[in-house]
Amino acid sequence: MRTRTIFTLAAALFATALSLPTSAQTPTATAPKETPPAPGTPRNFTLPAIRQFSLPNGLQVRFVPYGEVPKATVRLVTHTGNADEGPNEVWLADLTSEMMQQGTTTRSAEDIAREAATMGGALDVTVGMNTTVIGTDVFSESAARAVALIADVVRNPRLPDSELARLKGDLARNLSIQHATPQALASEKFAAVLFPNHPYGRSYPTQSMIESYTLDQVRGFHAKNFGAARSFVYVVGRFDANAVEAAIRQSFGDWAAGSPRTPQNVSPVSKRAVYFIDRPGAVQSTLYIGLPASIDPTRSDYVSTVVMNALLGGSFGSRITSNIREQKGYTYSPTSTLSTRLGAASWAEIADVTTNVTGPAIKEIIGEIDRLRSEPPTAKELQGIQNYLAGTFVLRNSSRPGIASQLATMDLYGAGADYLSTYVQRIYATTPAEVQRLAQTYIDPSKLAIVVVGDRKVIYDQLKTYGEVIEQ
């Protein structure tokens, strides 16, 4: 997934913690440590009431009154993105979004940025694999104006030929930067191995591909993929619902429905092999170890699979992290991910390990997978993971943007209305035996793709143990 942001107003949050000694004297005795009280059970997440309606052209709208701060998050989410690119069109969706930043038929780029700023925010355009999001966070009284501004950007982009060469140059420089990092090389190869001949397996274009893009291609991508029937408007926060609804009907009411989405069939590949990319002199090896997974948020075992992933490698206290970081010291920040897209998903353990322990690190990762498949976790270990996931879920949905994002995810996958309201319950309903069963179901070590980027002279012989080594 590639992300682009336009008309941005960056912000950063910093937190510091100070620890002060209570005495300058050396204590003569150490007081016994007290056992902290057991954590309480986190509350279930309760989604505020949602008002839903649709326009005759197919545009769907979600209103969520939320919070006390006089601001509103306004987003248009269209179900189009990198997944709609052809084999020789990688990043065409990104180029299209960059061109959309150059103004509309009635507003210049400067006009858009200035108008968004007067509303207390900035207008962002984000391209993902399956969605493109145009949104802003504004003062409550400006929510209706924000709707009109977003509508102008998506419906009436100028797409000027005068900016095409510059933006293609920006993409080309970004491509060069990405390909200079081992993480990008590893993720690119991992996606290509799992999802060959599909947009999900095409992470980066070639330089010649970028150079070949024309204004007609940009205009064609926009015309084909942006329309009311594939779009949702989300407004979350404090706002005048009547005024915002009127703005939506006026700004989007006559927008053409557009073409229906034509997703390509996904045929993932599961094969145990080592895919090696030489990086001479590298002091670390970048690992991607994983496989496709038939999982998405509509499945009844999805939340429990999230729990399984967090226990295995997807949290700071997970088994793989405790092993290769805390116990062995092979790496600093490993993690596992459960990535879902429309019609496909994957599980992967990702780590940058010291070069001379590349083979041992792979051994420990696979060993932890085998251990979870062969025996369930203890109830105590599982409860710690459940408390962590329940807490982070509630925090993630305790903001206007967080709620808007969750609703967009539900609509993308067609998850049920109770997806959010029962999420915490389903976390705690997961049993140790189910965690073991899900590891057995979704993570088969005999089908793991092992991608390694590192120094061939040091690590090549270490890799032969784990399967056929395919050099790139």
Which CATH number belongs to the domain containing residue 124 in this structure? 3.30.830.10
**Model confidence over 411-436: pLDDT tens digits?**
999 998 899 999 999 999 999 999 99
Output the six-digit token pair for 132: 């493109």
Domain contains 126: yes
Domain contains 412: yes
**Model confidence over 354-400: pLDDT tens digits?**
999 999 999 999 999 999 999 999 999 999 999 999 999 999 999 99
290 and 416 share one domain: yes
Count Cα neighbours of 317 within 13 Å in the Cβ-side half-sphere: 11
Q: Which of 200, 223, 252 is the last residue of a domain?
A: 252
106 and 152 share one domain: yes
**Whether pLDDT at 1 is above 50:** no
194 and 286 share one domain: no
- pLDDT value at position 14? 32
**Model confidence over 195-235: pLDDT tens digits?**
999 999 999 999 999 999 999 999 999 999 999 999 999 99
| DSSP sequence for 413-457 | HT--TTTTTTHHHHHHH--HHHHHHHHHHH--GGG-EEEEEE-HH
Rounded Cα distance, 72 and 203, in Å: 34
**Model confidence over 310-340: pLDDT tens digits?**
999 999 999 999 999 999 999 999 999 999 9
Residue 230 sits at the vertex; the CA angle it makes with 412 and 228, to the nearest 5 degrees, is 145
Domain contains 348: yes
- pLDDT value at position 472? 87
- pLDDT value at position 41? 60
Domain contains 406: yes
Rounded Cα distance, 468 and 75, in Å: 47
Domain contains 15: no
The boundaries of the domain holding residue 72 are 51-252
Domain contains 401: yes
Question: Residue 48 — very low, low, confident or very high, per pLDDT cuts 50/70/90?
Answer: confident
354 and 212 share one domain: no
Q: What domain count does the chain have?
A: 2
Q: Which residues pair with 339 in a beta bridge?
A: 346
184 and 283 share one domain: no
Q: Which residues contact 62 (CB under 8 A, 6 or more apart)?
A: 50, 51, 52, 232, 233, 234, 235, 407, 411
Average pLDDT over residues 266-291: 97
231 and 309 share one domain: no
- pLDDT value at position 38? 61
Question: Residue 444 — very low, low, confident or very high, per pLDDT cuts 50/70/90?
Answer: very high
User: What is the bridge-based pairing of β-strands 284-292 and 449-454?
Assistant: antiparallel
**Model confidence over 12-30: pLDDT tens digits?**
333 333 333 333 334 444 4
Count Cα neighbours of 356 within 13 Å in the Cβ-side half-sphere: 1
Domain contains 260: no
Residue 126 sits at the vertex; the CA angle it makes with 122 and 129, to the nearest 5 degrees, is 170
Q: Yes or no: say if 369 and 445 are a contact pair by the CB < 8 Å rule.
A: yes
Domain contains 452: yes
Tell me which residue of 47, 46, 52, 48 sits closest to 241, measured CA to CA: 52
- Around Cβ 297, how many Cβ atoms within 10 Å? 18
243 and 303 share one domain: no
Q: What is the DSSP letter of 138?
A: E
196 and 306 share one domain: no
Count Cα neighbours of 195 within 13 Å in the Cβ-side half-sphere: 25
280 and 246 share one domain: no
More confident site: 258 or 23: 258
438 and 312 share one domain: yes
363 and 446 share one domain: yes
